[in-house]
Amino acid sequence: MSFNIAIDGPAGAGKSTIAKAAARALGFIYVDTGAMYRALALYVLTHPIDAGDEAAVARAMPGIDVTIAYADGAQQVLLNGENVTDRIRDEQVGNMASKISAYGPVREKLLGLQRSLAARNDVIMDGRDIGTHVLPEAPLKIYLTASVEARAQRRYKELTEKGVTASLEAVAQDIKARDHNDMTRTIAPLRQAEDAVYVDTSDMDIPQVIERIIELYHDRVPGCPSGPQNGGVDGCR
Ligand code: DC
């Protein structure tokens, strides 16, 4: 039986950085479900499809293949066989992912892929509906969040460090709009699962958050060391 950790939370809360590092420390596989939605969004953006028309987006779904692979432990996303891991990171793709992820047929398309990865592997899976929908039986669920101000500051710093011109105000507006979209959609909206641990990272640095996640894992599975050797210890997973 695999052990699954579900991490949900709003855009810019640091989920992927934290989940990636915690997965490495615990010897788990990191699954970034946002990247799967982003791959579908990239397809919509690069084809003559009206993203505002749910039926048109739904019609495109059967022609799209999203596959997950791993290279040196890092998740790679293949869209119809093409590695699009780097191309899906920009804001335009993220915003399109937020828009089309409100559509039932889009969510349905990815659910099976997400569940089968979790059934076959010990995973830390992050997204918006992992604890509430995708893996409702996960033994450890975390709701990772931070204030809009803290998230906007982090994203702004990230963008300016990459040499992208941005305004803090615009970044904050973007984050608020994304929160609104992701939290108010009808199907599988972002919310904290009842049994999820709430972690507010506004005043925490990255190592502190990673440590907190590892601590929470050990609370659930007492006596299990962290690291890839876990599986060798009696009673550990
Ligand atoms: O985490 P991210 O920014 O890469 O996600 C992009 C969008 O994809 C997010 O705004 C909403 C959608 N998403 C979702 O609806 N459910 C998930 N489990 C993950 C992402």
Ligand 1 center from residue 2 Cα (angstroms): 24
Ligand 1 center from residue 236 Cα (angstroms): 31
Match 């039932």 to its residue by tokens.
104
- Supply the Cα-derived Rg of the chain in whole angstroms: 18
pLDDT of residue 90: 87
pLDDT confidence bin for 223, thresholds 50/70/90: confident
Question: What distances in angstroms separate CA 4 from CA 68, 101, 189, 195, one per listed residue?
Answer: 17, 23, 21, 14
Q: Look up residue 191 and give its two tokens.
A: 């919310």
33, 91, 145, 183, best to mutate for ligand 1 pocket (most atoms within 8 Å of CB): 33
Ligand 1 atom closest to 130 (CA): 18
Torsion over CA of 110, 209, 179 and 50, rounded to 10 degrees?
Answer: -30
Ligand 1 center from residue 129 Cα (angstroms): 9
Q: Look up residue 226 and give its two tokens.
A: 């962290």
Task: Tell me the C-alpha distance between 12 and 8, whole Å.
Answer: 11
The answer to whether the beta carbons of residues 188 and 127 sit under 8 Å apart is: no
Ligand 1 atom closest to 178 (CA): 10
* Tens-place pLDDT, residues 94-135: 999 999 999 999 999 999 999 999 999 999 999 999 999 999
Strand order in the sheet with 66-71: 66-71, 74-79, 82-83
Ligand 1 atom closest to 33 (CA): 19
pLDDT of residue 231: 47
Provide residues with CB under 6 Å of ligand 1. 11, 33-34, 37-38, 94, 97-98, 101, 127-130, 178, 182
* Tens-place pLDDT, residues 171-222: 999 999 999 999 999 999 999 999 999 999 999 999 999 999 999 999 988 7
Looking at the chain, the whole-number percentage of residues with pLDDT higher than 90 is 88
Instruction: Please tell me the residue having the least CA distance from ligand 1 atom 20.
Output: 34
Instruction: Please tell me the residue having the least CA distance from ligand 1 atom 16.
Output: 128
Instruction: Please tell me the residue having the least CA distance from ligand 1 atom 12.
Output: 98
Task: Tell me the C-alpha distance between 230 and 237, whole Å.
Answer: 7
Number of other CB atoms surrounding residue 1 within 10 Å? 6
